[in-house]
Amino acid sequence: MPEMPDLTRKRLPQHAIDYSQRIPNNVDLANDRALQRALERWQPAFLNWWNETGPENTTNLQVYLRTAVSVDRDGWANFGYVRMPEYRWGIFLTPQDENRTIHFGDHKGEPAWQDVPGEYRSPLRRIIVTQGDTEPASVEQQRLLGATCPSLYDLRNLFQVNVEEGRHLWAMVYLLHRYFGRDGREEAEALLLRRSGDPNNPRILTAFNERTSHWLAYYMFTFFTDRDGKFQLAALAESAFDPLARTTKFMLTEEAHHMFIGESGVARVLQRTCEVMREHNLTDASQVRTQGVIDFETLQRFVNFHFSVTLDLFGSEVSSNAASYYTTGLKGRYTEANIKDDHSLASDFYGVPEAANGEIVNRQVPALRALNTRLRDDYTREIQAGLDRWNRIPEKFGIPNRLRLPHVGFHRKIGSFAGSYISPDGRVLSQEDWERQGAAWLPSDSDHAFVNSLMGRVVEPGKFANWIAPPARGINNLPIEFDYVRFG
Ligand code: BYC
């Protein structure tokens, strides 16, 4: 039975990670005994957390997973069967560039920091903790999904995401232990104690306390919320604190597959819905539902929910935190290095939408304070492109329905729209109007009950649940009917 990862039969890349160590790593842990001991003390607590809140009933499974055996191009995606309880989480940073300089903010032009400057300790720790907190939260949110997987292919993809989110937690915990002393160790412990949705000890950011109770919510989450992960990680990959930049860069390589699962997952749902609508010549949502597939109206309500909840993750549109993260060099803009401006933004302005006197207006604010909005706008452009790709599916079938993004002010709990009532098409409503209409724009209990009624475990290789089409191709160029998960 192959061990994890299978290092015996493959030619290993030049900088292969040594999996015989208790904590596989490429940060020379063996030469920092105090750090190694501290992380080895955290490791059993992590494993307890994983067993308690990670994917349920996986003890007897072998899963065809991707594991990094080096951070190089030829080593980060090594595929093979892994017995789930034997999965090994490691610490991987992209290699250090000795000449890297800071390219934005007040420290522009200075060498990147290899240690944490005392004056930035607290905000930097806060950013790392916030990032770290989302990773275990998403694992907790997805814990029960395996029981209702629509196929072996999807089940394998779920576990791939779960183990990688676990590794992303390790990435942040390494930084906390290595650079933040006792405070960092305490934060690392607290990361294992908070729980998604626990009213007494919730996860930090709102979206990570929502439930992911079925596979439609999961695909929407990996499309909308994992893409926030991409943009936040990309902004942190610009950080003057080099170890944070290096670790987030490596995390980003894995993030692409998570977003692919979301985008292709919803596309496959749409494909199946369109096939059934065409076949039976249906237009009415309730008739579509009787065929056991998900109607456009329900999908639209899920788009409305997941987009709005994810926009909250960008923080307030106008934020002095964001301004100071930028000027101090802790967090840059998306693709900072490619932007042609002075990278200090001291005299620039940026348009921020808000509700004022019953309408939506665009207010020019100092660009530094609008950085959350700017990142959100970058994100929204990519999301819109994803929706455009989804909409080609009904177009191809000659079906007139389309999915649309709601207005950025719709259903917001954080930032300048919190407390306003905005319709999906961007009208400012009274509270009374919202109370009358708002529920119709978001998934209802009965929508969830309907979607849940479709969920059932499909684990025969090559078979798919009725409500979702098979993917275009399998994992790692393998056939769709490959045995991606083995039981027993
Ligand atoms: N929920 O100036 P403000 C991922 C707090 S996803 C609750 O508005 P700021 C992943 C904020 O903490 C990416 N609280 O915002 C995806 C602050 O609290 P304090 C995760 C919120 O600070 C899928 C106060 O409101 N990474 O990786 O400019 C699966 C005022 O703050 C929320 C990061 O987020 C909220 N939604 O920006 C797995 C990157 N929003 O200080 C993983 C690190 C704001 O007053 N985090 N608050 O107590 C950050 O850069 C920033 O913390 C934020 C907020 C962008 C989140």
pLDDT for position 488:
80
- 218-262 pLDDT, tens digit each: 999 999 999 999 999 999 999 999 999 999 999 998 899 999 999
d(CA 126, CA 116): 13
Q: What is the distance in A from the centroid of ligand 1 to the CA of 315?
A: 5
- 429-469 pLDDT, tens digit each: 999 999 999 999 999 999 999 999 999 999 999 999 999 99
pLDDT for position 14:
55
The two three-digit tokens of residue 192, written as one number:
């294992």
Instruction: State CA 249 to chain mean position distance.
Output: 14
- Residues contacting residue 239 through CB under 8 Å, at least 6 positions apart: 245, 248, 329, 330, 331, 332
Burial annotation 84-96 (CB, 10 A radius, 16+ → b, else e): beebbbbbbbbee
Ligand 1-lining residues (CB < 6 angstroms):
127, 130-131, 134-135, 138, 165, 205-206, 225-226, 228-229, 232, 312-316, 319, 321-322, 331, 372, 414
Taking CA atoms only, the protein residue closest to ligand 1 atom 27 is: 229
Q: Which of 130, 220, 252 to mutate to test the pocket of ligand 1 (most atoms within 8 A of CB)?
A: 130
Query: Which of 429, 432, 390, 435 has the alpha carbon at shortest distance from 407?
Result: 429
Q: What is the distance in A from the centroid of ligand 1 to the CA of 202?
A: 14
- Identify any residues that bridge with 354 across adjacent strands, giving them in sequence order: 361
Q: What is the distance in A from the centroid of ligand 1 to the CA of 132?
A: 11
Q: What is the distance in A from the centroid of ligand 1 to the CA of 269?
A: 31
pLDDT for position 20:
83
pLDDT for position 77:
77
- 12-62 pLDDT, tens digit each: 555 678 888 899 999 999 999 999 999 999 999 999 999 999 999 999 999
For the entire predicted model, the pTM comes to 0.96
Long-range contacts of 96-101 (CB under 8 A, 24+ apart): 96/242, 96/246, 100/242, 100/245
* DSSP tag of 31: G
Taking CA atoms only, the protein residue closest to ligand 1 atom 6 is: 229
Please identify, by atom number, the ligand 1 atom nearest to the C-alpha of residue 126.
52
Instruction: State CA 90 to chain mean position distance.
Output: 19
Taking CA atoms only, the protein residue closest to ligand 1 atom 4 is: 229
pLDDT for position 223:
98
pLDDT for position 194:
98
Q: Which of 165, 414, 416, 417 to mutate to test the pocket of ligand 1 (most atoms within 8 A of CB)?
A: 414
Taking CA atoms only, the protein residue closest to ligand 1 atom 5 is: 315
Q: Which of 260, 313, 334, 369 to mutate to test the pocket of ligand 1 (most atoms within 8 A of CB)?
A: 313
Sign of CA dihedral 322, 326, 331, 336: positive
Q: What percentage of residues in the chain have a pLDDT greater than 70?
A: 97
d(CA 394, CA 284): 15
For the cut 50, the answer to whether the pLDDT of residue 2 exceeds it is no
d(CA 225, CA 118): 33
- 300-319 pLDDT, tens digit each: 999 999 999 999 999 999 99
Q: What is the distance in A from the centroid of ligand 1 to the CA of 321?
A: 10
Please identify, by atom number, the ligand 1 atom nearest to the C-alpha of residue 236.
39
Taking CA atoms only, the protein residue closest to ligand 1 atom 23 is: 226
d(CA 37, CA 188): 14
d(CA 488, CA 3): 16
Q: Where are the alpha helices (DSSP H) in 76-196?
A: 121-141, 152-179, 181-191
* Owner of token pair 């979301």: 262
Query: Which of 276, 278, 273, 279 has the alpha carbon at shortest distance from 296?
Result: 273
Taking CA atoms only, the protein residue closest to ligand 1 atom 13 is: 229
Query: Which of 370, 329, 320 has the alpha carbon at shortest distance from 106?
Result: 329
* Owner of token pair 């908070």: 194
Q: What is the distance in A from the centroid of ligand 1 to the CA of 128?
A: 11
